[in-house]
Amino acid sequence: MPQFASRLGRAKPSAIMQVAEKAKRLKAEGRDIISFSIGVPNFLPGEHVYAAAREALERDSGQYGSNRGSDALLDAFLGHIGEIGLTGYTRANCATGIGAKHVIYNLCEALLDEGDTIAFPVPYWTSYVDIAEILNAKIDLLPCPAEQDYKLTPSQLDAALAKKPRVFLFNNPSNPTGMVYSKDEISALADVIAKYPDTWVITDDIYNRMVFDGVGYHNFVHARPGLRDRVIFIDSLSKTYGMPGWRVGFMAGPESVAKAVVTMNSNHITNLPEVTTAAAVAALAGPQDVPRAKCAEFAAKRDQVMAVFDAIPGVVCPRPQGAFYVFPDISAYFGKTHGPSGLKVDDDVGFCSALLEAKGVACVPGSAFGEPRALRISYTCPTPQLAPGLERIREFFAELA
Ligand SMILES: Cc1ncc(COP(=O)(O)O)c(C=O)c1O
């Protein structure tokens, strides 16, 4: 049999999907499963989005489109990021892709040669490692444990950038922790970045509209406008608009980088589909009441989740201020046994597996995100499921001895 390329041996299926699959299987077997595993927003966009998609279908040009994205889509994106203070960009600074994941993949392919270093904080979004590994880049992991609120410090960043990685990849608000960097924290990190001109900065900020408690969303370019020739901002429709399956992602950054992504698109995908593009324009430029209402709902759900974890002795759970995740450090419970089921909890994977078996609650082990002391709760399930799911988790902890 002919051989596969060696890069395929480095690509791993997502650990998150593995948990979701197990939960799905148990559900199919008739078990009552509450899923806090997969990071989907679990709502649908407003009717105006569907109306725009239907209308585009009626007007179908039947043609290929722009490798960068249609002018209407780029203009809608520019308007959208202008609202969060990212102004002064033009269409030439932007590019689109089949979701943020695809844009990040394209960027990594465009910026990293084999053996180049990409540095990023831990916990990280799983695909960062997978993409870097497929591309045979070296990974410099910057550990940010619960004790430091899962946030990167300026001195850690300084030490990492002094080693001149080709790319520093940042994520704010964070998946899996939900943590959000304050204006001062971003400013302090931006000061460090300014000292190291040889490193590109990708800031994956797709949860920028899901920020709670009035902390606001802050970006390195806000803090230091001079960084815009090296900072690449990533956005997506997936979470903000409840449109993960529509697959629309964006970047705004230096013209040369946008052009590189356009070149990648011309070879990978050619263009975003016309109907999807019309829906995306409607989402970005149309009424914003659905995303606003969902952000408020997620803030309230965050409170509900935190009320439970704050009351569990030994759990360290920094309070998230964005996205829709909570990431408790549960390592104080490793080595215990779940009384009623007799299941042993040796580590995060054992914990999540026992929780799923014993209580029918699916969470993702922290090791999927490089932090094996924790687990991730994604709390976008239908509201009536949240309280019972949390109660089962509370009981499970209480039954560990
Ligand atoms: C931090 C982060 N970046 C990127 C993505 C990918 O988003 P998209 O659906 O636009 O590909 C996700 C999805 O979970 C994410 O959590």
pLDDT at 373 over 90: yes
pLDDT at 285 over 90: yes
Q: Which residues of 100-131 are buried (b: 16+ CB within 10 A; e: fewer)?
A: bbbbbbbbbbbbbeeebbbbbbbbbbbbbbbb
From first CA to last CA, the distance across the chain in angstroms is 52
- Mean pLDDT for the stretch of residues 34-51: 94
Residue whose Cα lies nearest atom 1 of ligand 1: it is: 175
Would you place residue 392 in the very low, low, confident or very high pLDDT band (cuts 50, 70, 90)?
Answer: very high
CA of 206 to the centre of ligand 1 (A): 7
Q: What is the pLDDT of residues 127-136, one digit of tens each?
A: 999 999 999 9
DSSP string computed for 237-266: STTTTT-GGG--EEEE--HHHHHHHHHHHH
Chain mean pLDDT for the chain: 96
For residues 317 and 310, give the distance between their C-alpha atoms in angstroms, rounded to a whole number.
Answer: 7
pLDDT at 13 over 70: no
Are 104 and 187 in the same domain? yes
Q: How many domains does the chain have?
A: 2
For residues 208 and 225, give the distance between their C-alpha atoms in angstroms, rounded to a whole number.
Answer: 18
Task: Answer whether residue 1 is part of any domain.
Answer: no
CA of 3 to the centre of ligand 1 (A): 32
Are 133 and 262 in the same domain? yes
For residues 170 and 104, give the distance between their C-alpha atoms in angstroms, rounded to a whole number.
Answer: 11
Q: What is the pLDDT of residues 20-42, one digit of tens each?
A: 778 888 989 999 999 999 889 99
The tokens of 397 are what? 């902890």
Task: Answer whether residue 353 is part of any domain.
Answer: yes
In CATH, what number is assigned to the domain containing residue 10?
A: 3.90.1150.10
Are 57 and 36 in the same domain? no
**Which residue, chain included where needed, has tokens 């201020």?**
321
CA of 337 to the centre of ligand 1 (A): 35
Beta-bridged to residue 171, according to DSSP, are 204
Per the structure, the complete domain to which residue 394 belongs is given by: 6-44+290-398
Contact 265, 236 (CB under 8 A): no
Are 228 and 362 in the same domain? no
Are 136 and 240 in the same domain? yes
Of the candidates 161, 229, 238, the residue with the CA atom closest to the CA atom of residue 204: 238
Supply the pLDDT for residue 259: 98
CA of 100 to the centre of ligand 1 (A): 6
pLDDT at 4 over 80: yes
The region of weakest confidence among 14-18, 87-91, 129-133 is 14-18
CA of 332 to the centre of ligand 1 (A): 30
Are 233 and 362 in the same domain? no
241 to 45, 123, 218, 234: CA distances (angstroms): 6, 25, 20, 15
Are 51 and 108 in the same domain? yes
Supply the pLDDT for residue 16: 65
For residues 100 and 119, give the distance between their C-alpha atoms in angstroms, rounded to a whole number.
Answer: 19
Are 260 and 351 in the same domain? no
Supply the pLDDT for residue 7: 86
CA torsion sign for 7, 13, 16, 17 is: positive
Q: What is the pLDDT of residues 235-266, one digit of tens each?
A: 999 999 999 999 999 999 999 999 999 999 99
Give φ, ψ of 236 to 5 degrees: -160, 155
Task: Answer whether residue 32 is part of any domain.
Answer: yes
Are 386 and 347 in the same domain? yes
Query: What atom of ligand 1 comes closest to residue 249's alpha carbon?
Result: 10
Pocket of ligand 1 (CB under 6 A): 39, 99-101, 125, 171, 175, 204, 206, 236, 238, 244, 249
pLDDT at 193 over 70: yes
